[in-house]
Amino acid sequence: MTGKTILIGQVLSFHGSPFEGEAAAAVRLDGAIRVEAGRIVAVGGADRLKADAPDARVIDHGNRVIMAGFVDAHVHYPQTAIIASWGKRLIDWLNTYTFPEETRFGDADYAREIAARYLDLTAAHGVTTMCSYCTIHPASVEAFFSAAQARGQRVVAGKTCMDRNAPEELRDTAQSAYDDSKALLTRWHGVDRLGYAITPRFAPTSSPEQLSALGALWAEHPDCLMQTHLSEQVDEIEWVRGLYPEARDYLDIYETHGLLGARGIYGHSIHLEPRERDRLAETGAALAHCPTSNTFIGSGLFDMAGLIAQGQRVGLASDTGGGSSFSMLRTMAAAYEVAQLRGHALHPAQLLWLATVGSARALHLDHLIGNAVAGNEADLVVLDLASTPAIAQRAERAGDIWEALFATIMMGDDRAIADVWIGGKQCGAVSRA
Ligand code: GUN
Ligand code: ZN
């Protein structure tokens, strides 16, 4: 047993952003990837890779597509059990479904059960890294990081902080949010493949004192990420205006409290003012586009074309459980449809880039994950482009690989995920090789 594995198939890699030119994405027929000690050590032609490592184990995926595992830039793993809850708008949905469910995560056993369930479900959908909100309970963070660590998985997560406008059992304070977040990031940030994101939920559920405390914590630990929500629904924005009347706009609240920076990830970012867009672009902050959530909760249509043209750092996200699926294929399909409603057709290469490199860039992890290139960590997904009869008959008519991939993006689900590798290890539960 050499520990070397060669995966053969059609290999998809990016050499740049497909928003900047068509040559940025390449799919190599009879391609191969060699995996060793958790890394991608070579990408190239199947014959050459086999000749270079004759002792390697070979898994031949035929004409399936092998690419980087999907990266989900914004999720709430504690909302796994309430995904697809009917009929509410954001604040009502939070109060009716989300907050009652999140109160259960003070129970460490329940937190462990849902963390395991969430990571099983997402692995089955080919999602190998995600950036998750936890609940206010440190136990919910411990449960998530422990589960990811045991799986050798690269994840980012943080304790959600709220000290007002939430049920009593879900409130911390400015001081306890600072203390608990600091203890958790000291314990977990940079351990194995784990990263910490300081996590004020959003401006309405934090007092100015809490936002300041978390801004101070970020200044003390600038290598951590920071995640929050921004300008998701118009009624939310109205509420925020009333709570922070002195602020120029929503983003200004975060900036005033030390919570605007390049390592910040701003979920949704739909109804942005021109000033907010300019500040985000100047800062190099990341926007997490959550299209299934934005249609499901009725939030609005993200301006992908305009924001990309402005040079914004954009990642793609399911927003589980405001989003209606764990699948990044379903999320890409929704991103396509939302862009269409704004008069713009995203190319399949752009959708796949957003779900991998784009999200990895949003998390400042693109030097490690999100692309099937030599040197990166071996987080991989293998796509079956004929996973259902409906998709198979469409793929048969495809004029090129992008048309075939587009059918799977628009109609595929976990049945299209033939194999998943996390940190150089095959996920046994998923493999349909
Ligand atoms: N804004 C504040 N919290 C949340 C949440 O849990 N989900 C969504 N979609 N928006 C939020
Ligand atoms: Zn969210």
- Which residues, in sequence order, are CB contacts of 187 under 8 Å at separation 6+? none
Q: Residue 433: pLDDT above 70?
A: no
pLDDT in tens, 105-120: 999 999 999 999 999 9
pLDDT over threshold 80, residue 77: yes
pLDDT in tens, 236-271: 999 999 999 999 999 999 999 999 999 999 999 999
Q: Name the pLDDT band for 432 (thresholds 50, 70, 90).
A: low
Q: Which ligand is nearest to the CA of 300?
A: 1
Question: Can you tell me the distance from the alpha carbon of 317 to that of 325, in angstroms, rounded to the nearest whole number?
Answer: 10
Q: Which atom in ligand 1 lies closest to the alpha carbon of residue 133?
A: 6
Q: Which numbered atom of ligand 1 lies nearest the CA of 229?
A: 1
CA of 181 to the centre of ligand 1 (A): 19
- Give the distance (Å) from ligand 2 centre to CA of residue 231: 11
* The pLDDT value given to residue 1: 47
The arithmetic mean of pLDDT across residues 297-311, rounded, is 98
Q: Which atom of ligand 1 is nearest to the CA of 204?
A: 2
Q: How much of the chain, in percent, has pLDDT values that exceed 70?
A: 98
Is the pLDDT confidence value at 431 over 70?
no
Nearest ligand 1 atom to the CA of 232 is 10
Q: What are phi and psi of 172, to 5 degrees?
A: -105, -155
* Residue with the larger pLDDT of the pair 432 and 61: 61
Nearest residue (CA) to ligand 1, atom 9: 322
Give the number of the ligand closest to the Cα of residue 288.
Answer: 2
Q: Is the pLDDT of residue 332 over 60?
A: yes
Residue 198 in this model has a pLDDT that exceeds 80: yes
For atom 1 of ligand 1, the residue with the nearest CA is 229
Residue to probe by mutation, ligand 1, list 83, 90, 97, 234, most atoms within 8 Å of CB: 90
Distance 343 CA to ligand 2 centre (A): 26
User: Pocket residues for ligand 1 (CB within 6 Å)?
Assistant: 76, 90, 94, 98, 201-202, 229, 232, 293, 297, 319, 322
Ligand 1 atom closest to residue 236's alpha carbon, by position in its atom list? 1
Residue nearest to atom 7 of ligand 1 (CA): 322
Pocket test for ligand 1, best of 76, 80, 295, 318 (most atoms within 8 A of CB): 76
Packing angle, helices 174-188 and 208-220, rounded to 10: 30
* Ligand nearest the Cα atom of residue 85: 1
Tell me, in angstroms, the distance from the centre of ligand 1 to residue 408's CA: 29
297: phi then psi, degrees, rounded to nearest 5: -90, 0
Q: Are strands 160-161 and 194-200 parallel, antiparallel or unpaired?
A: parallel
Q: Is the pLDDT of residue 139 over 70?
A: yes
d(CA 36, CA 3): 6
The answer to whether 324 and 123 are in contact (CB under 8 A) is no
Ligand 2 mean position, distance from CA 431 (Å): 30
The ligand 1 atom at the shortest distance from the C-alpha of residue 79 is 6
> What is the per-residue pLDDT across 149-161, written as a single tens digit (0 to 9) for each?
999 999 999 999 9
What does the DSSP assignment read for 116-173? HHHHHHHHHTTEEEEEEE--SSHHHHHHHHHHHHHTT--EEEE-EE--SSS-GGG---
Q: What is the pLDDT of residue 71?
A: 99
Lowest mean pLDDT among 36-50, 302-316, 417-431: 417-431
- Closest-lying ligand 1 atom to the alpha carbon of residue 322: 9
Query: Quick one: pLDDT at residue 428?
Result: 75
Ligand 1 centroid from CA 395, angstroms: 37
The mean per-residue pLDDT over the stretch 162-175 comes to 98
